[in-house]
């Protein structure tokens, strides 16, 4: 029996697991009849179980039973030879789910970005990133890979001027910054539309934006394009 994320199991459930391991028996919910079982328990977690035991969040007896053999799986960043293999596998799976006739492929620049990323979320993060990239690709080739979907393209970070008082009124600096942002957004829109032959869906993917985000920018600067 494989128990994933066993570090998240509550103490009452841990006690039941311990009893099943210790006495090789358990009772079904709502029943008082014991059922004998002969199973090997394998648990997986990214939590520090010995530390949880000290804090009273994990049962010491259960940890003893489960630690007959302890294996450490290296993080994805330490297995760089597996990254592209897994990415292509997840891309093919997602393409099949979306009903794509052609198996999605990564461009050389996209593969370079995938191999150079640290993957703090390991395989789950890789799978999510690849699936999102396949969904956004339109012609079977994945050119853009977005690692952080929560980065706001419209967020403007105002500069901090050394020596400026906190309540001092801001004058020319924010205005100049907004003008630079406006010019950059117009330039990138023009480049994307030219590269994608004025196909807005493809241009959105080229910029790593959703179609809705692209249309918002397009309507904003339509007269300047």
Q: Which of 75-84, 90-99, 203-212 has the lowest mean pLDDT?
A: 203-212
What mean pLDDT, rounded, does the chain reach?
Answer: 85
Tokens 């023009």 appear where? 190
Q: Is the pLDDT of residue 28 over 70?
A: yes
Of all residues in the chain, the percent with pLDDT exceeding 90 is 39
What pLDDT does 194 receive? 83
Q: What is the mean pLDDT of residues 99-118?
A: 91
What pLDDT does 173 receive? 53
Tokens 């977690």 appear where? 45
Tokens 């890789």 appear where? 126
Q: Which residues pair with 162 in a beta bridge?
A: none
Cα(189)–Cα(3) distance, integer angstroms: 49
Q: Is the pLDDT of residue 89 over 80?
A: yes
No. of H helices and E strands in the chain?
A: 9, 6
Q: Which two tokens stand for residue 106?
A: 């990564």
Q: What is the mean pLDDT of residues 39-68?
A: 91
- Report residue 109's pLDDT band, with 50, 70 and 90 as the boundaries: very high
Q: What is the pLDDT of residues 132-153, one digit of tens each?
A: 999 988 778 999 888 887 766 6
Q: Which residue has the higher pLDDT, 193 or 87?
A: 87
Candidates 3.10.180.10, 3.40.50.261, 3.40.50.300, 3.40.50.620; correct CATH number of 2-66?
Answer: 3.40.50.300
Q: What is the pLDDT of residues 153-198, one digit of tens each?
A: 676 555 555 555 555 555 545 557 778 888 888 888 888 888 878 8
Instruction: Please tell me whether residue 198 adopts helix, strand or coil conformation.
Output: coil
Task: Identify whether the C-beta of residue 44 lies closer than 8 Å to the C-beta of residue 3.
Answer: yes
Half-sphere exposure of 177 (CA within 13 A, CB side): 12
Of all residues in the chain, the percent with pLDDT exceeding 70 is 89
Q: What would the CATH number be for the domain defined by 76-142? A: 1.10.8.60
Q: Find the helix or strand (DSSP H, E) in which 34 lies.
A: strand 34-36
What pLDDT does 157 receive? 55
Q: Where are the domains of the chain?
A: 2-66, 76-142, 172-224
């Amino acid at each position: 029996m494989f128990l994933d994320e066993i570090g998240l199991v509550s103490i009452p459930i841990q006690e039941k697991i311990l009893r099943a391991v210790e006495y090789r028996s358990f009772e079904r919910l709502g029943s008082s009849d014991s059922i004998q079982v002969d199973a090997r328990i394998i648990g997986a977690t990214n939590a520090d179980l010995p530390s949880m035991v000290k804090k009273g969040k994990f049962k010491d007896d259960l940890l003893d039973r489960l630690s007959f053999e302890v294996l450490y799986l290296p993080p994805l960043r330490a297995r760089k030879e597996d990254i592209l293999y897994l990415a292509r596998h997840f891309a093919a799976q997602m393409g099949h789910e979306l009903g794509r006739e052609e198996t999605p492929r990564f461009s050389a620049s996209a593969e370079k970005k995938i191999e150079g990323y640290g993957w703090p979320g390991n395989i789950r993060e890789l799978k999510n990133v690849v699936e999102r990239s396949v969904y956004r690709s339109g012609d079977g080739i994945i050119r853009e890979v977005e690692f952080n979907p929560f980065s706001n393209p419209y967020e403007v970070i105002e500069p901090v001027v050394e020596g400026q008082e906190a309540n001092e009124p801001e004058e020319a600096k924010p205005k100049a910054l907004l003008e630079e942002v406006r010019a950059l957004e117009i330039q990138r829109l023009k480049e994307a539309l030219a590269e994608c032959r004025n196909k807005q869906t493809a241009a959105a993917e080229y910029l790593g934006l959703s179609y809705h985000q692209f249309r918002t920018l397009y309507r904003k600067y339509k007269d300047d394009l």
